[in-house]
Amino acid sequence: MLQSSKIFIAGHRGLVGSALTRKLREQGFNNLLERSRQELDLTNQHAVEVFFASEKPEYVFLAAAKVGGIHANSTYPAEFIFSNMQVQMNIINEAWKYKTKKLMFLGSSCIYPKLAPQPMPEDCLLSGKLEPTNEPYALAKIAGIIMCQSYNRQYGTNFISVMPTNLYGPNDNYHPLNSHVLPALIRRFHEAKVNKAPIVTIWGTGNPTREFLYSDDLADACIFLMEHHNGNDKVLNGRMRIL
């Protein structure tokens, strides 16, 4: 991946996309293709095709997604599966059609079964029932992985998938109900400190354990993988899990 390459960061304003943008610029990549939601609706197949036909990006980081915590996933399951499937199908298919050299699909650790052993080995994928609260989102992400693998097998593309764990960092979503666990905790403790509240109430039993990864560290790993690993690597089998 040369500094002069045309690189499309889908979702460049989000948690992962903005971290990728920062890190790529720090490393001298200045030919970055960025489009806001107002400029390019990634759920619109025709709009995405026009963009790829015009710009012909050589490398694509597919970091755009509709995401949220337990409350958001439970409240908007139809939107989570429909919107994410639309974005993934549009970008992956156009990347193949317009001969993108390499695409990286950003998934989620929620693709693994609810009762998978810890730490989760890669071969646990599709081996058991998913967590019910985020099943629609997880199924959309699984479909993205399988789509990348299918295009590699049938068309000889170089599409890879990365499954990060729970992320946090700049440009995270701190919504009081729809955010993920760490930004939700940050907001609640911050508000408690500002308001001098004696108690902070958080959801859950306190028994589950989590792994957290800083978004800029994920970005470093993604850039390394984009430069050094391919969709046909036997060791990784097309599925890279970064924890």
Span 174-225, pLDDT tens digits:
877 777 788 888 889 999 999 999 999 887 787 777 788 999 999 999 999 9
- Measured distance CA(140)–CA(148) in Å, rounded: 13
- Asked if residue 132 has a cis previous peptide bond (ω within 30° of 0), the answer is no
DSSP character for 238? Answer: T
208 vs 90, higher pLDDT: 90
For residue 139, pLDDT over 80 is answered with yes
> What is the CATH number for 41?
3.40.50.720
134 within a domain of the structure (yes/no): yes
187 within a domain of the structure (yes/no): no
32: number of Cβ within 10 Å: 18
For residue 241, pLDDT over 50 is answered with no
Q: Which of 59, 76, 112, 137 is catalytic?
A: 137
2 within a domain of the structure (yes/no): no
For residue 171, pLDDT over 70 is answered with yes
Catalytic status, residue 137: yes
* Total count of domains within the chain: 1
Share of the chain above pLDDT 90, in %: 64
pLDDT for res 233: 60
201 within a domain of the structure (yes/no): no
* 79 — pLDDT class (breaks 50, 70, 90): very high
* 242 — pLDDT class (breaks 50, 70, 90): very low
121 within a domain of the structure (yes/no): yes
Angle of helix 215-228 relative to helix 15-26, nearest 10 degrees?
A: 60
CA distances from 51 to 11, 22, 103, 141 (A): 14, 23, 16, 23
Sheet architecture: strand order including 32-33: 32-33, 7-10, 59-62, 102-106, 159-164, 239-242
For residue 68, pLDDT over 60 is answered with yes
Average pLDDT value for the chain:
89
Chain centroid, CA 138 distance in Å: 11
Length of the chain: 243
- Measured distance CA(211)–CA(168) in Å, rounded: 11
77 within a domain of the structure (yes/no): yes
178 within a domain of the structure (yes/no): no
133 within a domain of the structure (yes/no): yes
* 234 — pLDDT class (breaks 50, 70, 90): very low
Q: CA dihedral in degrees (148, 151, 153, 159; nearest 10)? A: -50
Range of the domain at 62: 7-171+212-242
For residue 152, pLDDT over 60 is answered with yes
